[in-house]
Each structure stands twice: as structure tokens, then as C-alpha cells.
């Protein structure tokens, strides 16, 4: 049934909003927030390392409505006095059924921006019209219907996808779309919820970035700090569950990077900014209720812990709700998150730029995949490397096989270019959002798999033939789709599909009939033009008037005279300035027949489409296997090609806790330097948990310490992800957890200083590391007094060395820490498992200098801070003052609290000071320094 514009609203909108623009504006009174259902006992859950509090809601009756900063910002003051979507009060209630429906929906669902289909438009009313107008830059007007005035805006149906991209994808809004339905008997129109578009429940929208996963995550909390997690990518059907702890949540979030998180409304978070994503809160009754559909899926959830199941049910309920309650054919495999994965904490993923898509990130450097599924697989492997040696070596072996057969590799990559995203398309089929293009994607994937299978089977390398045998090809299906659709024709297909006329006999007959009627129509038009003496006569089919005759008014006289001779003469129903419009029985009959044939054709094509979709869904498992194998082959061939281009080698993966990397490089920094025609200096790393397990790196600022730490951590991640690494050789003993304390992320909004954040992160590392872990610590102990900082740095180093015994890279400017730790003559400080390395600055005679980034054994006692400050543009006067401070014997000599060793040199320096040149305060300081020396080193005080 075709929908036609039908009422005043759509008509007005078509006339142009400017015509009904008015200046008056109404602010509707505030409605109360939804009542809070506190059904559980009060539970307080603390996210230990973040000091954010999460608790079950019990006594409080604060509104838990989702707030969106952008919407608040745009609404400005208006939002302070009115909620996101408020409707008029009862006295001002609209009389129209449409407005009543909108008002009721908005009151019950204030968290959504409601769009209502009216004819060929989507419209928003009341306060939401203002919000929509601001977000999309649309004109908003006051409109009056039967004395009831309200705010109003809208846009044409064809612009829905474009505007959803702005609202949902870019601005994180949740948009409820009420579609219009016509009752076949009463012919009355009604509005019902069709779908709620939220960032985490997007499925087949063209704007969705298919190269990355789009997870919706559901969380369920228990009083003992346990967390049940369930997440789904509706676009690919990936559905997984896991358990975690509240203090690990931030890391889990940065690994999964969900677009939206759904929790029960009764959970109260004092601060949810740490989520860093959209938060949806569902009433506990609907979050926890077992959905009546998807029995099979719910049964699968019984295999998981009660907390995981709770999260899973909450997730499914939210999915069902946002899909407008339509019957979903979801048979998703529910998997337990792989426990054999390398746990990488939030700081590591962020600081090492593993998976974000900014320039220089690891993923950016490696992502030369040719398929969208391949791109997603590579991203997920880097975000969740494995600890399972066999899994890793299998991946590496496949890459090696492609490296040895570069002809086959190049060949397959050509074929991969044509493979569609079958995983996403099949999911769209399951969720009933598919369009014919999705069938074409599945067909191209199946045909690609067919070609890959035959080429891989012809290989002599078992690693490649195994891949070939893993490709089950439902080739009949590809042929059926190929028979139905023209591969090249994508015009109409996106909307309704254009199946080949020769697909079946019925379609063939309908097309023949359609052509015959079109011919009849052309003949009739010509005949009428001649017989009725009206050259401008046209046969028109219009949605508003049906089938009519239209002619220029100048032909009216001759037309009317000639028309009198007809047995059924035309009936004039509209006389416009330059046009006349008539009904004529013969054209109305023919037009209706044409309309009927067109509807029959659409019906038949829809039937064929549905039938093919059913056949495809019955082969879902084999299609998904094909898609997965295509993604794996894409990743393996990509790395094989890159290994030549970027100089990557196969790492050896082993169980012993060793890390022996020769000639390690940092891909991102190396590529950036190449752009400036500079070379990267490779470095080695040798750590063994049972012997020399800690490297302490000292050296000047800008010497490359941080880069070194990161490049080694990245190599571990790449190796355990089953990817070749940027080095000359690499032996990587499996690491179970990778921790980093890098950078200084203030969390000022949470009243946490740099030092506090640093200590919190370090506390987590010290609590969680095992002797199989790897820790990188970059300049711990800043942001406090030097001596206390040194003390903390040393004691952390000692704890890592003595207690945790894990492989550690420790960069510091506190060279005293490195000196003490390696000084065998001071047994209370000496740490035998430590090796010192340093970087240097090379000064040239002309005063210029270069940083030497190659690591050398030993400790550097120069930070060269003044050089770097000079380089950064600090005024010369400041630098000069700093030089004086640095070389002044008083400031240079050991102070009362210093841990510097008392040397003869220090004493000589103090003794050489001419007391007459000192101010009284400096003189006092000098006396104190000397007293301190006598106290700390009586043996040397004889020199004084
Ligand atoms: P530090 O931590 O010692 O202050 P960084 O690791 O931040 O130094 O390095 C500073 C800059 O030096 C980097 O941005 C990079 O351009 C360059 N650099 C670092 N390591 C190397 C290297 N091994 N080879 C060449 N250039 C390097
Ligand atoms: Mg640094």
C-alpha cells in the first residue's frame, strides 16, 4: 500500500515553512521526571581505582534520565527549566489524534527525540522541534491547529538517513521514529513506533563505519564488586559474555570501546564520565524481565553465571525495544569471552595508541586490509591479543605461508577486493532490515570464497590447503541470487529491488503486460492530442489527483470544442492560471490498470526477495564461516605484504618468561621520521624473569626513553596478536598481562592531582601483576618533591624486582635510583636483576647537539633539561638564570635531605666558596650544608 500525503500538516510543510513562520514562542511547563523504582536493597559498589561510585538506587528519587551534554548545551537556558522533551499541559492539550499520539509517546519516553512520519515528511513537535531545529539547522515555526499552537519542524523522508547520521552517529542522540500506517478497512492513518535509533543498536545504516565493531554493552552489578558483562554488535551478530570486577571496568571499556552502555535504572553512578560513552538506563522491571521471544537465545544464556545472564537479558530487552518489537530472527552464537587473552590495561591501549585511528596509531600503520570484515578482525586481534601459543603460531604460520608464495598472495588479494561484507548483510537479514544490495554482498562473498577455495586447494603448503578446506560453499545460493539480480544494476535496488524479468514466469508475464499497457498509454496520448486538437495535452498520474489530463490553457478552446464529439467527454476539475486539468474515463481505466500491474510487480518482487532471504538464512552458518575465513585470509595476506614493505619478522613465541628482541623499532615513529628523511635507531631488549628482569633507562629528555618503552610493549602486543613485528628478531615468552604507567593524565574534574592519578595506576599494577606480566613504567614519582619522588621510584622498583619478579622496563630521570640499584657495595639497595641502559646527547664544537637514540649500558646522570628548554623556546634570560642556579655551589651541594653520596668533590666545592660574596641567608645555608655533611659522613669531615 502506497502512503500518500493526507492531511493539513504535510500539506503545510510542502508549502514551505517560511509561509507559516511566526514570532511567538511558547515555553511549556515542566513535567515531573519518571518515578524511581527501587526494588533492590541498597548496595554500594566502588570502582576502586577510579573512585567513582556505583550503587543500586534505593532511597533516592532523583531523576535518572539520561543527559546528553550536547543537547544540554544547545538547549541552553531553555533546558534548565524544561526537560529534553516536554509536552504541553493538559489544559493546552491538542485535539488532533496525531498530536495526542505524539504527546503521549513523548511523555512516556522523554529520553528520545521523536520523529513522526506524516505523508512524505518526518516531523517533530513542541520542545523537540526546537531541539531538532538546532541540531540539524532546520527552521522551526509556531503552528496553530484548531486554536492549539505548538512548535513544529520537519524534513522530507528521503533525508532521514542523512539526518540520522548527524543525530545518532555524530551527536549521540537517541531517535524514536513513529511510522504511519493506514487501516485497510477504515482507511484511517495511525502512528506506531517503528524503531528507536541509538548509537549502539545501528544495524544496516549506510553511514555505519563497517571497518570497526559497533558494540552495545550491558552491565549488571553485584554487591561484591563483581560485574556481569554482555555485548553485541548488532551489525555483525557478535554476542559475547564475560565477568569482571568494578576496578577492571575501565580497562574492559577501553578494550571493547562500546558505542552505548545499558544498565538497570536502579544503579546509580555518582559520575559516569569514565564510561566515556552513551549511557542508557532501563527501568529494572524491563531490564530484568525474560523476553517472550528468542527462546533459543535465552536458553543459551543459562550456560553463563547469573550475573552474566542478567546482563545478557538486559541487553536483549534493549535490542527488542529499539527494534520496535518486530519479530527478530536472532540465532546469535553466544560466546564466553576468551579467557586466554592477554590482559591489556586501559592505560596501555590509550598510551600506546594501539587501536585508535589517529595518525601514527598501530592499527593505522597496519590496516591495509581489503575487506571490512578483515579490518574488524585486525582491530579486534590488536585489542585482545592471545596468550595461547598454538593460536598465535597458527596465525603466524599462515602469514609465513603467504610470504613464501608471494604470487598466490598477490593473486588472492586481487580476489579479496570483490568480496562483500557477508557477516553484516546476513545480520541485516536476521533483523529484517535487508535490502537487495545485501543479497548481492552475500553473493560476491560466496563467489570470492569459491575462487579462494580452488586456488588454496591447489597449493602444496598444508597451512594454505587447510584454509581452503575450511571454506564451505553454498554455491547454489550464489547462483540463485545471481539469477535474480543483475550484478551491476544498483539503481533502484537500494529501495525496492529490481529482479530480472526472466526470473520466473509470473514476473515475465507481468513485465509483458506492463510494457503493453505503457504502449497503449502512449498511443492514447497521441490519439487524444490529434483528435482533440491540443498539442500540449499530457496524460498524467499524480498521487494527489489520480489519473488526469493536463493541457495549457491556450489549447482549452479548441480542446473543448473537439471534446463535445466524444461520447464520454472530459470533466474539467481544476482551472489554474496556465493549466487546465480534466478527468477522462478511458485514461482513468487504463491508468488504474497500470497502477495495478505496478503493485503486482512490487508484490511479486518482494515475494521473490523474501524467498531468497529465507534460503540465505537457512545457510547462515556456512556463510558466516566463509566470511570469517575471508577475514582471516585478508589479515594474513595484509601482514605478509606489509612484512616486506615495513621490514617485519616472525616472532618466536614460547612459554619461558623471556623477552629477547634485537633491532626493535617503533612503527609509528619510524614512519613519521621517514617523512622527514630521518632514520630510526633500532634498539635491543633482553629481559628474563628468572635473571635480569628489569631494565632501568636513564638519559636526557628527548633521548628516546619513552619511545623505547612503547616500542617494546607494542612488539609484545603484535607478537601475541599473531602478527609479524618490527625488529630483526624477536623471542617473546607469553605475557599474561601488560601494564603501563605512562604519561600524566590529570583527572582534575574528579579532584585527582597528577600525582594521585599516577599513584592509583601504579597501585593497580602492583596489586595485579604476576611474574608472567610485563610492566612499563615511565618516569614515576613526578609531581611531588624530588626526594620523595626518588624514594617512591626506588621502592616501586624494588617491589617489582623482589616481589613481583616480572619483566619490567623502567625509565627515570632519578639517576640516583639507577646508581643505587646497581651498586654492589650497598647491599641494602642493590638489585641484582637490574640492568642499566642510557641514551645520550652528542655536543658538537659549534655548540649544536644531537640526540643519540641508541641505548648503551650504564647510567646517564644528565637530563639535559636546559638544552630541551632552550629548544622549546624558553627565553634566554630564564635559561641563563637556570644555568646559574644549577652551577651555584650552594644549590648544587647536598642538602640536609639529599640522598646524594657525600663525595670529596662536594666537600671541596663547599669549601671553595668565598663567604664574603654571600648574602646572610646563603651563608646560613652553607653552614647548614656543612653541618649535614659532618653528620652524614664523619670519616670525610676531617677534610673540612
Ligand atoms: P624521552 O622520553 O627520552 O624524553 P622520547 O621517547 O619522547 O624521549 O623521544 C623524543 C623524540 O625522539 C621522539 O618523538 C622521536 O622523534 C625521537 N626518537 C625517539 N626514539 C628514537 C629512535 N630510536 N630513533 C630515532 N628517533 C627517535
Ligand atoms: Mg619520556
What kind and span of H or E run contains 652?
A: strand 652-654
Nearest CA to ligand 1 atom 11: 702
CA of 91 to the centre of ligand 2 (A): 66
Which residue, among 569, 560, 566, has the nearest Cα to 534 in the 3D structure? 560
Q: What is the pLDDT of residue 848?
A: 75
Q: What is the 3-state secondary structure (H, E, C) of 113-143?
A: EEEEEECCEEEEECHHHHHHHHHHCCCCEEE
Q: Please provide the DSSP assignment of 449-517 as one string.
A: HHHHHHHHHT-S-HHHHHHHHT----HHHHHHHHHHS-SS--TGGGTT----GGGSHHHHHHHHHHHHH
CB atoms within 10 A of CB 512: 12
Q: Which residues line ligand 1 (CB under 6 A)?
A: 669, 673, 680-681, 699, 701-707, 853
Instruction: Give the count of alpha carbons within 13 A of 564, CB side only.
Output: 5
Sheet arrangement for strand 189-197: 141-145, 148-156, 121-125, 113-118, 175-182, 189-197
CA of 858 to the centre of ligand 2 (A): 18
Counting Cβ atoms within 10 Å, is residue 112 exposed (0-12), middle (13-18) or buried (19+)?
buried
Contact, 377 vs 634, CB < 8 A? Answer: yes
CA of 700 to the centre of ligand 1 (A): 10
Q: What is the 3-state secondary structure (H, E, C) of 150-213?
A: EEEEEEEHHHHHHHHHHHHHHCCCCEEEEEEEECCCCCCEEEEEEEEECHHHCCCCCCCCCCCC
Nearest CA to ligand 1 atom 19: 704
Rounded CA-CA distance 729/476 in Å is 47
Nearest CA to ligand 1 atom 16: 669
Nearest CA to ligand 1 atom 17: 704
Q: What is the pLDDT of residue 86?
A: 37
> Which of 360, 663, 665, 669 maximizes ligand 1 atoms within 8 Å of its Cβ, making it the mutation to test the pocket?
669
Q: Please report which ligand is nearest the Cα atom of 705.
A: 1
3-state secondary structure of 12: helix
Rounded CA-CA distance 85/89 in Å is 13
Let me know how long the chain is. Answer: 944
Three cell numbers written together for 468:
581452503
Rounded CA-CA distance 523/521 in Å is 5
Instruction: Give the count of alpha carbons within 13 A of 492, CB side only.
Output: 9
Cα angle at 210 between 208 and 212, to 5 degrees? 105
Counting Cβ atoms within 10 Å, is residue 897 exposed (0-12), middle (13-18) or buried (19+)?
exposed
Q: Please report which ligand is nearest the Cα atom of 840.
A: 1
Rounded CA-CA distance 306/482 in Å is 46
Rounded CA-CA distance 501/508 in Å is 5
Rounded CA-CA distance 743/754 in Å is 10
> Which of 702, 726, 871 maximizes ligand 1 atoms within 8 Å of its Cβ, making it the mutation to test the pocket?
702
Q: Which residues pair with 540 in a beta bridge?
A: 548
Nearest CA to ligand 1 atom 10: 702
What kind and span of H or E run contains 575?
A: strand 571-575
Rounded CA-CA distance 679/756 in Å is 38
CA of 865 to the centre of ligand 2 (A): 12
Nearest CA to ligand 1 atom 5: 704
Rounded CA-CA distance 667/643 in Å is 12
Nearest CA to ligand 1 atom 13: 704
Q: What is the pLDDT of residue 708?
A: 95
Those residues whose beta carbon sits under 5 angstroms from the ion ligand 2 are 705-706
Rounded CA-CA distance 883/878 in Å is 9
Mean pLDDT by 10 residues, the chain (944 residues): 28 27 26 31 36 38 32 27 35 64 88 90 90 90 82 90 90 91 78 91 80 89 90 88 85 83 83 70 81 80 91 92 77 77 77 72 89 92 93 97 95 92 88 85 91 92 91 81 70 56 90 94 92 89 86 88 81 88 91 92 89 90 92 96 96 95 94 90 92 91 91 96 97 94 55 72 87 90 78 91 93 87 85 90 77 87 78 84 79 48 56 64 64 62 55
> Which of 667, 685, 704, 743 maximizes ligand 1 atoms within 8 Å of its Cβ, making it the mutation to test the pocket?
704
What kind and span of H or E run contains 148?
A: strand 148-156
pTM above 0.85, yes or no: no
Ligand 1 atom index nearest CA of 672: 16
Rounded CA-CA distance 648/667 in Å is 10
Tell me the Cα Rg of the chain: 36
CA of 852 to the centre of ligand 1 (A): 9
Nearest CA to ligand 1 atom 27: 704
CA of 852 to the centre of ligand 2 (A): 14
CA of 851 to the centre of ligand 1 (A): 8
CA of 814 to the centre of ligand 1 (A): 19
Q: What is the pLDDT of residue 203?
A: 82
Rounded CA-CA distance 862/868 in Å is 12
Q: What is the pLDDT of residue 641?
A: 96
Three cell numbers written together for 834:
637490574
Ligand 1 atom index nearest CA of 700: 3
Rounded CA-CA distance 869/863 in Å is 11
Return the DSSP state at 432: T
Q: What is the pLDDT of residue 177?
A: 94
Nearest CA to ligand 1 atom 26: 680
Contact, 178 vs 406, CB < 8 A? Answer: no
CA of 666 to the centre of ligand 1 (A): 10
Amino acid at each position: 500500500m502506497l502512503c500518500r500525503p493526507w492531511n493539513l500538516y504535510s500539506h503545510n510543510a510542502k508549502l514551505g515553512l517560511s509561509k507559516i513562520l511566526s514570532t511567538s514562542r511558547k515555553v511549556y511547563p515542566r513535567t515531573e521526571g519518571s518515578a524511581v523504582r527501587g526494588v533492590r536493597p541498597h548496595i554500594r559498589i566502588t570502582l576502586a581505582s577510579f573512585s567513582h561510585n556505583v550503587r543500586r538506587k534505593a532511597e533516592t528519587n532523583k531523576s535518572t534520565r539520561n543527559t546528553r551534554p550536547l543537547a544540554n548545551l544547545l538547549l541552553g537556558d531553555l533546558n534548565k527549566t524544561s526537560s529534553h522533551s516536554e509536552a504541553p499541559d493538559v489544559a493546552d492539550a491538542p485535539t488532533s489524534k496525531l498530536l495526542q499520539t505524539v504527546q503521549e509517546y513523548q511523555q512516556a519516553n522523554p529520553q528520545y527525540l521523536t520523529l513522526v512520519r506524516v505523508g512524505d515528511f518526518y516531523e517533530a513537535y513542541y520542545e523537540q522541534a526546537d531541539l531538532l531545529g538546532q541540531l540539524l539547522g532546520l527552521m522551526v515555526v509556531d503552528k496553530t491547529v484548531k486554536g492549539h499552537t505548538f512548535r513544529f519542524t520537519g524534513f522530507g523522508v528521503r533525508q532521514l538517513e542523512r539526518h540520522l547520521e548527524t543525530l545518532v552517529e555524530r551527536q549521540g542522540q537517541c531517535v524514536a521514529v513513529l511510522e504511519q500506517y493506514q487501516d485497510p478497512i477504515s482507511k484511517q492513518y495511525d502512528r506506531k513506533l517503528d524503531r528507536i535509533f541509538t548509537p549502539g543498536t545501528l544495524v544496516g545504516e549506510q553511514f555505519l563505519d563497517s571497518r570497526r565493531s559497533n558494540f552495545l554493552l550491558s552491565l549488571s552489578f553485584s554487591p561484591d564488586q563483581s560485574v556481569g558483562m554482555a555485548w553485541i554488535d548488532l551489525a555483525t551478530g557478535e554476542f559475547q559474555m564475560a565477568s569482571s570486577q568494578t576496578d577492571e571496568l575501565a580497562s574492559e571499556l577501553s578494550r571493547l570501546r562500546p558505542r552505548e552502555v545499558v544498565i538497570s535504572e536502579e544503579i546509580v553512578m555518582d559520575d559516569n564520565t569514565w564510561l566515556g560513552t552513551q549511557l542508557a538506563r532501563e527501568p529494572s522491571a524491563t531490564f530484568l524481565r525474560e523476553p517472550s521471544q528468542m527462546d533459543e537465545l535465552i536458553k543459551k544464556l543459562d550456560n553463563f553465571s547469573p550475573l552474566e545472564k542478567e546482563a545478557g537479558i538486559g541487553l536483549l530487552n534493549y535490542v527488542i525495544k529499539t527494534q520496535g518489537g518486530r519479530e527478530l530472527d536472532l540465532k546469535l552464537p553466544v560466546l564466553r569471552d576468551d579467557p586466554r587473552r592477554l590482559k591489556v590495561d586501559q592505560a596501555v591501549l590509550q598510551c600506546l595508541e594501539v587501536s585508535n585511528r589517529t595518525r601514527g596509531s598501530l592499527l593505522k600503520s597496519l590496516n591495509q586490509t581489503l575487506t571490512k570484515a578483515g579490518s574488524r578482525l585486525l582491530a579486534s586481534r590488536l585489542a585482545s591479543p592471545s596468550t595461547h601459543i598454538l593460536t598465535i603460531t597458527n596465525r603466524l604460520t599462515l602469514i609465513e605461508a603467504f610470504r613464501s608464495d608471494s604470487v598466490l598472495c598477490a593473486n588472492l588479494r586481487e580476489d579479496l577486493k570483490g568480496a562483500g561484507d557477508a557477516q553484516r548483510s546476513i545480520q541485516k537479514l536476521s533483523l529484517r532490515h535487508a535490502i537487495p544490495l545485501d543479497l548481492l554482498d552475500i553473493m560476491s562473498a560466496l563467489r570470492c570464497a569459491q575462487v579462494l577455495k580452488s586456488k588454496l586447494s591447489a597449493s602444496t603448503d598444508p597451512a594454505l590447503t587447510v584454509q581452503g578446506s575450511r571454506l564451505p560453499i553454498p554455491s547454489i545460493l550464489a547462483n540463485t541470487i545471481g539469477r535474480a539480480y543483475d550484478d551491476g544494476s544498483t539503481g533502484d535496488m537500494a529501495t525496492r529491488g529490481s529482479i530480472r524479468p526472466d526470473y520466473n514466469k509470473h514476473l515475465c508475464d507481468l513485465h509483458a503486460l506492463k510494457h503493453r499497457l505503457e504502449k497503449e498509454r502512449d498511443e492514447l496520448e497521441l490519439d487524444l492530442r490529434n483528435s482533440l486538437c491540443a498539442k500540449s495535452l499530457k496524460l498524467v498520474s499524480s498521487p494527489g489527483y489520480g489519473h488526469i489530463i493536463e493541457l495549457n490553457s491556450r489549447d482549452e478552446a479548441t480542446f473543448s470544442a473537439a471534446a463535445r464529439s466524444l461520447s464520454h467527454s472530459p470533466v474539467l476539475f481544476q482551472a489554474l492560471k496556465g493549466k487546465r486539468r480534466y478527468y477522462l474515463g478511458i485514461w482513468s481505466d487504463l491508468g488504474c490498470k497500470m497502477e495495478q500491474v505496478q503493485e503486482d510487480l512490487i508484490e511479486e518482487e518482494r515475494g521473490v526477495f523474501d524467498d531468497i532471504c529465507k534460503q540465505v538464512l537457512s545457510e547462515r552458518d556456512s556463510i558466516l564461516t566463509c566470511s570469517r575465513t575471508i577475514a582471516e585470509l585478508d589479515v594474513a595476506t595484509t601482514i605478509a605484504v606489509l612484512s616486506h614493505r615495513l621490514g617485519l619478522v616472525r616472532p618466536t613465541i614460547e612459554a619461558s618468561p623471556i623477552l629477547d628482541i634485537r633491532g626493535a623499532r617503533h612503527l609509528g615513529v619510524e614512519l613519521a621520521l621517514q617523512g622527514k628523511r630521518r632514520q630510526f635507531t633500532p634498539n635491543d631488549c633482553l629481559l628474563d624473569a628468572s635473571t635480569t628482569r628489569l631494565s632501568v633507562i636513564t638519559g636526557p629528555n628527548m633521548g628516546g626513553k619513552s619511545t623505547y618503552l612503547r616500542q617494546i610493549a607494542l612488539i609484545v602486543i603484535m607478537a601475541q596478536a599473531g602478527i609479524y613485528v618490527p625488529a630483526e628478531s624477536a623471542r617473546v615468552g607469553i605475557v599474561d598481562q601488560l601494564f603501563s604507567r605512562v604519561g600524566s593524565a590529570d583527572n582534575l574534574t574528579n579532584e585527582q592531582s597528577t600525582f594521585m592519578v599516577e599513584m592509583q595506576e601504579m597501585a593497580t599494577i602492583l596489586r595485579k601483576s604476576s611474574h608472567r606480566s610485563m610492566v612499563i613504567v615511565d618516569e614515576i614519582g613526578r609531581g611531588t618533591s624530588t626526594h620523595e619522588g626518588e624514594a617512591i621510584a626506588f621502592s616501586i622498583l624494588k617491589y617489582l624486582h623482589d616481589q613481583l619478579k616480572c619483566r619490567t622496563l623502567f625509565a627515570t630521570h632519578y639517576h640516583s635510583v639507577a646508581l643505587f640499584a646497581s651498586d654492589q657495595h650497598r647491599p641494602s639497595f642493590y638489585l641484582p636483576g637490574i640492568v642499566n641502559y642510557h641514551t645520550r646527547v652528542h655536543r658538537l664544537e659549534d655548540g649544536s647537539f644531537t640526540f643519540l637514540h641508541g641505548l648503551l649500558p650504564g647510567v646517564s646522570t644528565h637530563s639535559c633539561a636546559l638544552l630541551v628548554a632552550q629548544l622549546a623556546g624558553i627565553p634566554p634570560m630564564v635559561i641563563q638564570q637556570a644555568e646559574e642556579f644549577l652551577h651555584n655551589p650552594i644549590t648544587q651541594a647536598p642538602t640536609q635531605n639529599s640522598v646524594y653520596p657525600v663525595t670529596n668533590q662536594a666537600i671541596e666545592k663547599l669549601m671553595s666558596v668565598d663567604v664574603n660574596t654571600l648574602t646572610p641567608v646563603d651563608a646560613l645555608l652553607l653552614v647548614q650544608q656543612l653541618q649535614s655533611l659532618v653528620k652524614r659522613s664523619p670519616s670525610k669531615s676531617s677534610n673540612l
